Amino acid sequence: MLFNEGLLVDRDLFLGLSLTVRARDVFEQVEHHFADNEGVKIHYVTMGEGPTLIMLHGFPDFWYTWRYQMADLSKDFKVVAVDLRGYNKSDAPKGVQNYAMPLLMKDVIAVIDDLKVEKATLIANDWGGAIAWQVATYYPNRIEGLIACNIPHPAGISSYLAANPQTGQYAQDFKKEGAEKMLTPEGLANFHPNLSDLERERYIEAFKRSSFEGMLNYYRANYPAAPADSSTPAIPAPVRKVKTPVLIIHGMRDQALPAGMLNNSWDYVDTDLTILTFADAGHFVQQEAHEKVSKAIRTWRSLDL
């Protein structure tokens, strides 16, 4: 029993009421939609009205990773959070070829088209960010700005991995045949820090609906191959530069994508670039430093770039 100002409250009742209150977050407030990319249905949710912000998650995740930003930014923006193909309520086509980057980019364009807007700002983490960098590069007429959360430019990742191949060993392991058999919904939920019981339940349910094979096909189709001889530096390929303003937000405790991958990011952007780092956050910076991330997005988005 709990005692509060002379009132006895049953502990189980108190915890039950707390879970009920927690349930009234963005999970229960969003509107659900589906965009179509040549027969592949892409699920996304929306909140609020105003300029359009489209949020893309990474591995292993689903649209709910952006819950804090959605709750805050929906006061002034139309916030849109997407389930990438293979995840949660989006379709999960079979075959590595169905996770090639050109198709992933078209998923994003399909969402923009379905929203009936000409342009949007992309906010993205991990694989969602890898897709967002490419969309900003190859569809500049559809993108107002890019906010990359713990996802360096792909060229920066490749350059770093060429010199430090051990950093990407986990990804090379993901590419192996049958690697998806090692994944479970509960294990994937453990990737996320500080989940409440209710939030963890939502993650597990989303991962039960997801395709583990599809998740790992992102790596098989797009992750750089391990260098055959790391002692011989590869000649970097020419990089087509991004011509839309970019904000990079990076949690410095990220071990999968360390901050060294940000080196020379300015070489890949042909306009204004802002880099903001948070010392006490890791890979899921949008959750681990959510107040700072939301404030940074709002402040940067208000700049006259």
What pLDDT tens digit does each residue of the chain (305 aa) get?
Answer: 343 434 444 444 444 444 333 445 899 999 999 999 999 999 999 999 999 999 999 999 999 999 999 999 999 999 999 999 999 999 999 999 999 999 999 999 999 999 999 999 999 999 999 999 999 999 999 999 999 999 999 999 999 999 999 999 999 999 999 999 999 999 999 999 899 999 999 999 999 999 999 999 999 999 998 876 555 555 556 689 999 999 999 999 999 999 999 999 999 999 999 999 999 999 999 999 999 999 999 999 987 65
- From the list 142, 90, 105, 133, the residue with the least C-alpha distance to 221 is 105
Question: What distance in Å separates the CA atoms of residue 54 and residue 122, rounded to the nearest whole number?
Answer: 5
Q: Backbone phi, then psi, for 86, in 5-degree steps?
A: 95, -15
pLDDT given for residue 21 in this prediction? 39
pLDDT given for residue 42 in this prediction? 98
The CATH number corresponding to 33-225+240-301 among 3.40.50.1820, 3.40.640.10, 3.30.565.10, 3.40.50.720 equals 3.40.50.1820
Question: What distance in Å separates the CA atoms of residue 159 and residue 168, rounded to the nearest whole number?
Answer: 12
pTM: 0.90
In DSSP terms, 274 is beta-bridged to 247
pLDDT given for residue 232 in this prediction? 54
Compute how many other C-beta atoms are within 10 angstroms of the C-beta atom of residue 219. 22
- Exposed (0-12), middle (13-18) or buried (19+): which is 140, by Cβ within 10 Å? middle
pLDDT given for residue 227 in this prediction? 73
pLDDT tens-digit series, residues 135-172: 999 999 999 999 999 999 999 999 999 999 999 999 99
DSSP H or E segment with residue 215:
helix 212-222
Domain ranges of the chain: 33-225+240-301
pLDDT given for residue 198 in this prediction? 97
